A and B are shown apart, each in its own frame.
Chain A
Amino acid sequence: MSKKNPEYDFKWCPGCGDFGVRRAIEFAMINRLEETGLPMENNVVVAGIGCSGNLVHLLEGQQPYGFHGIHGRTLPVAMGVKMARPELNVLVVAGDGDFLSIGGEHIGPQAARNLNICAVVMDNGVYGLTKGQSSPTTQLGTVTSSTPYGKIEAEADPLELYLTLGATFIASGFSGQPRELAKLINQGMDHEGFAMVHVQSPCTTYNDTFELMKGNPRKGIEPLMYNISEEHDVSDKGAAYNLVQQRGMPVGIIYKDEARPSLQQRVDEIKAKAPRRSVEELMDSFAF
């Protein structure tokens, strides 16, 4: 929307990884529109607070519905939208601070419910919008404005966390590859259950990891990123653990469990047994 709206004055820094994620999400939603024929308004993008959350205002072209709420609460908002209107495609966009720190308490329950949404987490390892404090994925020992003598706590491993909490689709991507990332997001959207797409989206101002991710042969920097081998069995949780415990940043689908029913499927199945009584009938049960 922003292009037509001079009043909206938020800007990502030049080169921000989030540009690539935005592009990927635009691709993914257009792909979906072409595949399903459902209008763009069938998509709801639930955004967190932070640089990443502004993505919902910066999407170009045909506009989906958006929800730019409060810090850390994207997942329960998304649950409300999805369980209210199961026919909508609900996409969460949040940063590592929003999703893993203040919002961390919501990941486990939604994974257990297997809520049928796709969450795209833009991980830049720092709080950008508040100008460079340490986040859950900031590396141990890193100096930031809030860790002037080095970060004291260990960094979180989001991929391993999602596996442990029981997400039924886990992919890892890189913002520098929007086309490839769009494919992962499309698969996450198509997955009938709780889909996590964790994206390395470097912050060029406070934590520029582009070079680390891609490597630089001239400086002798080996890339952290590597494509997941085609041999990898995405249905094998043990293999997924092995993968995420290796050094480096895998790109591709890490794990996928298609057997577990989604929350909606379980609700439909279990509540089918419930007697349906009108208000008048319910009132009868209190009559005397």
Chain B
Amino acid sequence: MQMRDFVVRFAGEGGQGVVTSAEGLAQASTQVGYHALTYATFPSQILGGPTWTQARISVDPILSAGDDVDVLVAFNREAYDTHREEVREEGLVIYNSNDFELEGDERSYGLPVDELARSTGNNRAANMVIMGALAHLVNMPQAYLEQFVEARFRRGRANDDEIIDSNNLALKLGRDESASSGFSLGDLTPPAMPEYPQIMLKGNEAICLGALAAGLDFYVGYPISPATTILVFMERNLVGEGKFAYQVSSEIESITTILGAGYAGKKAMTATAGPGFSLMSEGLGLGWMAEIPLVVVDVQRGGPATGLPTKTEQSDLLACMYPAHGDVKLPVIAVGTVEECFFGAVKALNWAERYQGPVILMTEMALAERVQNIHRPDLSKVQPERRLVYDGSNGYNRYQGHELSPMPLPGSPGAYVANGSEHDEMGDTTHLPSRHVQMTERRFSKLKLLEENEFEADNSDEAVVIMPWGGSKGPALEAYNQLREQDVPVGWYYTMLLSPLPPALLEELKQKELVIVPELNYQGQFSGILRSQGVNAVSITQYTGLPFKVRDLVERITEMTNSHPKEMVRA
């Protein structure tokens, strides 16, 4: 049987190589031209604890983590018990028979992983034993894996050959053992190496690269899952003349420090998750009020308060759009793929400079930790924007008029007071009604500078359309493709620009009979926002801490289209 893709879930204890096995499989596969996407959950403890990572390998570009598991690699009994039911009927379980024995499961076989690794003389080759076993199951040529081993371990060391030989032996032993089990899943279609250059990285890494490409100067942050990896990357790499990265002592310090840096003329950013974002509320209002460019990345996790620190959700949208007291509406960009993490970060920095204010870049746990191969971004096409800077003499009114005006920078003429109190044109505090009117209108008018008609549309003549946001894009797009194959009459819209929405998109959405919004929250936050703008939007919600399954979306969208329009109430 020909297979176009397969999904492997590695489950066990933290430290058993669960994550490295999945990422190794992804790397080996992409190197020969397959596409790969991993979905990781990490345990909320440091050492040990149950953990699992899923890798989906495909001949085609991958949209979601995959609904069903083809192969479960169980490192221990608990992992087997927890994840067995996720394996599809014709799927298989490989269990580490050096850790436990299993009886009565006909779709399983034991692999003495540790023993086979040890026999190669390289205890660290356990991952390779597993990879060899998996390669047999989908009839992946051994040469592919050996190519990966060569690329990974050829580093110009004296014992390179020895290491490579032991890894190749481990692959072979795993493969032979797997073959002797008599099981097989089919033949994975040979890959077609994409003609474009690729990189493989995590969502958070792509955000970092995008921010650097857009000219980021200044980053501070405070550790919080799942945003910490951005801080770690920046501390390591945002160095050199005029650059600064630092771990500060709270998210209140994060936001207020980048307010100072943005005011002083730098492109400044921080990243956090829900609890930290809540602490930034007042500072974000100040950025809006005093008109200071900056970017805050919100890597969403689940729930209010401490919530679900290591699970995924899309429940911060309202908080991001309306983060503070008073009349505030911040620009929001929400990314949906690893590639969009890069370009979304570029856009967020550009927007902040363009309208001189805070921009929120939303991502989510499942995307932050996802490893995926993407088209390598072409830096020559990235166009960093720079704020309008005042270059005249002293006596300038920084907040003049009803629209954007050039921003003076400390050290140069044009001294003013950046003021979080309502102010007059020179930045002095005022209570005049006419001033509050002028300045409020000025602040909102600047959002018009961010109206861009960048969105995806497919079968846009349909009356019923699907429009997900953020990380639900992948499963929703996969569901949409299946629905179209089944001749279900639905169209597709998508944009990363949630606020302000592309005006042309909004106009099209308003013409639709129904806009279906799959989103990972209870309240249907985005559909509510769309309804407030005159769109007849209804959400498909899920609040499990897990991403959507394509199957569920197909089913629920089909139900909604079947019951439409007879049960529809026009907005």
Which residues from chain A sit less than 8 Å from chain B, CB to CB?
1-2, 5, 7-10, 39-42, 44, 46, 54, 56-57, 63-70, 73, 76-85, 87-88, 105-106, 108-109, 267, 271, 274-277, 279-280, 282-283, 286-288
Asked if B199 and A80 sit within 8 Å, CB to CB, the answer is no
Indicate which residue in A8, A108, A276 contacts B429 across the interface (CB closer than 8 Å).
Answer: A8
Q: Report the minimal beta-carbon distance from B339 to chain A, rounded to whole angstroms.
A: 12
Asked if B410 and A282 sit within 8 Å, CB to CB, the answer is no
For the A-B complex with A84-B260, A288-B199 known, give 19 more contacts whose Cβ atoms are closer than 8 Å: A5-B426, A56-B417, A63-B416, A66-B427, A67-B263, A69-B259, A69-B290, A77-B259, A80-B256, A81-B263, A84-B244, A84-B266, A85-B266, A271-B239, A274-B236, A283-B376, A286-B200, A287-B198, A288-B373
Contacts of A275 in B (CB 8 A): 239
Residue in B closest to A46 when the chains form the complex, CB atoms: B260
Q: Does B353 contact A (CB under 8 A)?
A: no
Contacts of B416 in A (CB 8 A): 63, 65-66
Asked if A63 and B394 sit within 8 Å, CB to CB, the answer is yes
Indicate which residue in A65, A73, A84, A106 contacts B261 across the interface (CB closer than 8 Å).
Answer: A84
Asked if A7 and B261 sit within 8 Å, CB to CB, the answer is no
Known A41-B411, A68-B429, A83-B244: A5·B239 in contact at CB below 8 Å: no
Asked if B265 and A84 sit within 8 Å, CB to CB, the answer is yes
A217 to B198, CA, bound (A): 84
B interface, over-half SS = mixed
21 A/B residue pairs, CB under 8 Å, sorted by A = A7-B424, A8-B428, A41-B412, A63-B416, A65-B410, A73-B252, A76-B253, A76-B256, A78-B260, A80-B262, A83-B257, A84-B260, A85-B411, A88-B264, A283-B376, A283-B377, A286-B205, A287-B198, A288-B30, A288-B199, A288-B200
Q: Does B421 contact A (CB under 8 A)?
A: yes
Contacts of A83 in B (CB 8 A): 218, 244, 246, 257, 261
Known A41-B413, A76-B248, A85-B410: A57·B428 in contact at CB below 8 Å: yes
Q: Report the minimal beta-carbon distance from A117 to chain B, rounded to whole angstroms.
A: 10
Asked if A80 and B264 sit within 8 Å, CB to CB, the answer is yes
Asked if A70 and B283 sit within 8 Å, CB to CB, the answer is yes
* A-B pairs with lowest CB-CB distance, top 8: A80-B260, A66-B417, A84-B261, A286-B199, A76-B256, A84-B264, A80-B261, A8-B428
Q: Report the minimal beta-carbon distance from B253 to chain A, rounded to whole angstroms.
A: 4
Contacts of A63 in B (CB 8 A): 394, 415-416
A63 to B418, CA, bound (A): 13
A178 to B122, CA, bound (A): 75
Asked if B432 and A7 sit within 8 Å, CB to CB, the answer is yes
Asked if A282 and B432 sit within 8 Å, CB to CB, the answer is no
A64 to B410, CA, bound (A): 8
Contacts of B411 in A (CB 8 A): 39, 41-42, 65, 85, 87-88
Asked if A54 and B197 sit within 8 Å, CB to CB, the answer is no
Q: Report the minimal beta-carbon distance from B179 to chain A, rounded to whole angstroms.
A: 28
Contacts of B453 in A (CB 8 A): none
* 8 A Cβ contacts from B227-265 to A: 236-237, 239-240, 244, 246, 248-250, 252-253, 256-265
Q: Does B151 contact A (CB under 8 A)?
A: yes
Asked if A76 and B200 sit within 8 Å, CB to CB, the answer is no
Contact string, B418-445, partner A, CB cutoff 8 A, digits 1/0? 1111001011111110010000000000
Q: Does B348 contact A (CB under 8 A)?
A: no
Contact string, B249-292, partner A, CB cutoff 8 A, digits 1/0? 11011001111111111101000000000000011011000100
Q: Does B217 contact A (CB under 8 A)?
A: yes
Indicate which residue in B27, B200, B415 contacts A66 across the interface (CB closer than 8 Å).
Answer: B415
A275 to B213, CA, bound (A): 17
Q: Does B212 contact A (CB under 8 A)?
A: yes
Asked if A85 and B256 sit within 8 Å, CB to CB, the answer is no
Contacts of B213 in A (CB 8 A): 279
Asked if B417 and A68 sit within 8 Å, CB to CB, the answer is yes
Contacts of B261 in A (CB 8 A): 80-81, 83-84
Q: Does B379 contact A (CB under 8 A)?
A: yes
Q: Report the minimal beta-carbon distance from B393 to chain A, rounded to whole angstroms.
A: 11
Q: Does B138 contact A (CB under 8 A)?
A: no
A185 to B286, CA, bound (A): 28
Q: Report the minimal beta-carbon distance from A98 to chain B, rounded to whole angstroms.
A: 13
* 8 A Cβ contacts from B430-471 to A: 430-432, 435
Known A81-B261, A83-B244, A288-B151: A282·B218 in contact at CB below 8 Å: no
Q: Does B209 contact A (CB under 8 A)?
A: yes
Interface centre among B236, B379, B421, B424 (most CB of A within 10 A): B421
Contacts of B30 in A (CB 8 A): 288
A83 to B256, CA, bound (A): 13
Asked if A44 and B256 sit within 8 Å, CB to CB, the answer is no
Residue in B closest to A10 when the chains form the complex, CB atoms: B429
Contacts of A40 in B (CB 8 A): 415
Contacts of A73 in B (CB 8 A): 252, 256, 283
Asked if A1 and B198 sit within 8 Å, CB to CB, the answer is no
Indicate which residue in A44, A109, A287 contacts B253 across the interface (CB closer than 8 Å).
Answer: A109
Contacts of A70 in B (CB 8 A): 256, 282-283, 285-286, 420
Contacts of B250 in A (CB 8 A): 105
A9 to B205, CA, bound (A): 50
Asked if B218 and A80 sit within 8 Å, CB to CB, the answer is yes
Q: Does B166 contact A (CB under 8 A)?
A: no
Known A9-B431, A109-B249, A286-B200: A69·B424 in contact at CB below 8 Å: no
Q: Does B201 contact A (CB under 8 A)?
A: yes
Contacts of B204 in A (CB 8 A): none
Q: Does B312 contact A (CB under 8 A)?
A: no
Contacts of B421 in A (CB 8 A): 68
Q: Report the minimal beta-carbon distance from B101 to chain A, rounded to whole angstroms.
A: 38
Contacts of A76 in B (CB 8 A): 248, 252-253, 256-257, 260
Q: Does B499 contact A (CB under 8 A)?
A: no
A168 to B350, CA, bound (A): 39
Interface centre among B217, B250, B258, B259 (most CB of A within 10 A): B259
Q: Report the minimal beta-carbon distance from A270 to chain B, rounded to whole angstroms.
A: 10
Residue in A closest to B294 when the chains form the complex, CB atoms: A80
Q: Does B525 contact A (CB under 8 A)?
A: no
Interface centre among B244, B373, B424, B428 (most CB of A within 10 A): B428
Asked if A80 and B377 sit within 8 Å, CB to CB, the answer is no
Q: Does B315 contact A (CB under 8 A)?
A: no
Asked if A5 and B253 sit within 8 Å, CB to CB, the answer is no
Contacts of A274 in B (CB 8 A): 236, 239-240
Contacts of B379 in A (CB 8 A): 279-280, 283
Asked if A279 and B246 sit within 8 Å, CB to CB, the answer is no
Q: Does B31 contact A (CB under 8 A)?
A: yes
Contacts of A283 in B (CB 8 A): 199, 209, 376-377, 379
